[in-house]
Amino acid sequence: MNYGFLIDNRKCIGCHACSTACKQENEVPLGVNRTWVKYVEKGVFPDTRRYFQVTRCNHCANPPCVHICPTGAMFQRQDGIVEFDNTVCIGCKACLQACPYDAIYIDPETHTAAKCHFCAHRTEIGLEPACVIVCPEHAILAGDLDDPQSEIARAIATQQVRVRKPEQGTRPKLFYIDAEEASITPMLARQDAGMLWASWPQNGRNGHDDWRGPIQIGEGRMAGAMVNAAAAPRETYNVPHRIPWHWPVPAYLVTKAIGAGAFMVGAGGAALGMLPGVPLFTSIAAFIALLFIGITTLLLIADLDQPKRFWYMLKRPQWRSWLTRGAFILIAYSALLGLYFLGHAAEQLGLVPGASGLANALVVPTFVLAVLAAVYTAFLFAQAEGRDLWQSPLLAPHLFVQAVMAGAAALIIAGAFAPLDAPVRSTLAAIFGVGVLANGLMTMFGEFGAPHASVVASAAAHMIKRGKYAKDYWMAILVGGALPLLIALVLPTSPLAMAIAALAALFGLYRYEYAFVMAPQEVPNN
């Protein structure tokens, strides 16, 4: 068995019977949808045409939502249906980021992920999904794609069909006959604030206002929609999809960079002989790292829609997910970091003579885990197939550079209150300056200087450099990059000046991460 859907756009009349039946059958709350109908209009009034597209989960043969789910709450059945178990969902929203079709939502009542599940409760007893039986035009087919005698298999074999976003490699099993290009490709149709019968909330289709309504009735929307279609194809009916990740995620990237980088720069620099083995670069550096890894963990838990279930990642880990792998990396890093801190603190307090020697034996494995803690998010973002900008091959080395910069910044701030020789301050300033310079070069000429692999990634990059998030981007470059670098070159031994430079760099890093996390989520996937 290999279940799939086929939508015959030649027959669809846009009646919404399928979406209504889906809501009733599966008790879908208001404000979210498992199936919906998108309208796109083309032409010059009065010669216009309205195209309909039924949109839902594609039940991909290679489902990225399954791979990224840390607990296996999203899973693929033997019959090809991509199903979910809301009893083990932690509400991390990673599956929403992984889906290139915006087909998954967070249920406002259960606070867990949900989506079309092929009406599995009906399919298992030989019935068709509710949307199929209610369609008055028989425009929706569902069945076994591997059975050559099934109606859907015969239709696909004899008709020209296409899928959405085949370039993502998900191998979707939602096929369309006579798909309109401007409808099936999100970026081709204009998507402004005006819909046919309503307006989006104040902040737009993916705004931060109450995205569930109430519906705002707009005057003249229907005539206006047809007239404006003259300029370009225009989306005139769709459903909004809220942005899953907000400020805690960029904040987590900054705190994790500090937590990993403080040990890498402090203990790593001391082990290599670049920095002296004084408490600032041993026990204090380890304490700073532990503190910020702890803050990182709290941010990760607070961002869950089911925070009390955070331990499910440890109870039933799904090892393909980099959320799961990252959690275990942070745990292992924290454990060795704690032992390293205790060893140096015990000797410095005179409690256990020679303990620092034992602690120093942990430097290499702890350093390796610090690097992994710094860069694993790049692989998590790579699993987020719905956000093309995050697929950059430069992201892992960029996160490493950011960790060096952030770790050095944290030690500079702490070092402002410690007695350090001028040469030591100069060395620390040099490490910080190199990190700031490398971060700026990778940002301007790497992440945002080279051409992007897709239109979606380019749209997000344009939004960051010249659009909605341009202020954040240029604050990161100027306040978080140029200013700290100038101070590090001119006043490397001044504790106050370097502390200001360090704070500016961390501020700029957060502004950059905020733009980097938010902008790709605003590019439409449907």
- In tens digits, the chain (526 residues) has pLDDT values of 999 999 999 999 999 999 999 999 999 998 899 999 999 998 887 788 899 999 999 999 999 999 999 999 999 999 999 999 999 999 999 999 999 999 999 999 999 999 999 999 999 999 999 999 999 999 999 999 999 999 999 999 999 999 999 999 999 999 999 999 989 988 888 876 567 766 655 444 444 444 433 444 444 444 444 444 445 788 888 888 889 999 999 999 999 999 999 999 999 999 999 999 999 999 999 999 999 999 999 999 999 999 999 999 999 999 999 999 999 999 999 999 999 999 999 888 888 888 888 889 999 999 999 999 999 999 999 999 999 999 999 999 999 999 999 999 999 999 999 999 999 999 999 999 999 999 999 999 998 988 888 888 999 999 999 999 999 999 999 999 999 999 999 999 999 999 999 999 999 999 999 999 999 999 988 8
How many Å apart are CA 71 and CA 65, to the nearest integer?
Answer: 11
How many Å apart are CA 287 and CA 337, to the nearest integer?
Answer: 8
What is the widest separation between alpha-carbon atoms in the chain? Answer: 89
How many Å apart are CA 373 and CA 332, to the nearest integer?
Answer: 10
How many Å apart are CA 268 and CA 366, to the nearest integer?
Answer: 10
How many Å apart are CA 97 and CA 517, to the nearest integer?
Answer: 11
3-237 and 248-522, same CATH topology? no
What 3-state class would DSSP assign to 235?
strand
* Nearest by Cα to 366 from 273, 427, 290, 284: 290
Domain 248-522 is of which CATH architecture?
Up-down Bundle (1.20)
| Range 3-237 has CATH code 3.30.450.20 | no
Helix (H) or strand (E) holding 501: helix 495-522
CA distances to 4, 38, 43, 54, 179 from 184, in Å: 18, 10, 17, 10, 7
The answer to whether the beta carbons of residues 289 and 335 sit under 8 Å apart is no
* Nearest by Cα to 174 from 118, 225, 217: 118
Q: What is the 3-state secondary structure (H, E, C) of 128-152?
A: CCHHHHHCCCCCEEEEECCCCCCHH
Quote the pLDDT of residue 235.
Answer: 87
For residue 194, the 8-state DSSP code is: B
Global pTM exceeds 0.85: yes
How many Å apart are CA 93 and CA 511, to the nearest integer?
Answer: 22
For residue 77, the 8-state DSSP code is: -
Q: Domain ranges for the chain, please list them.
A: 3-237, 248-522
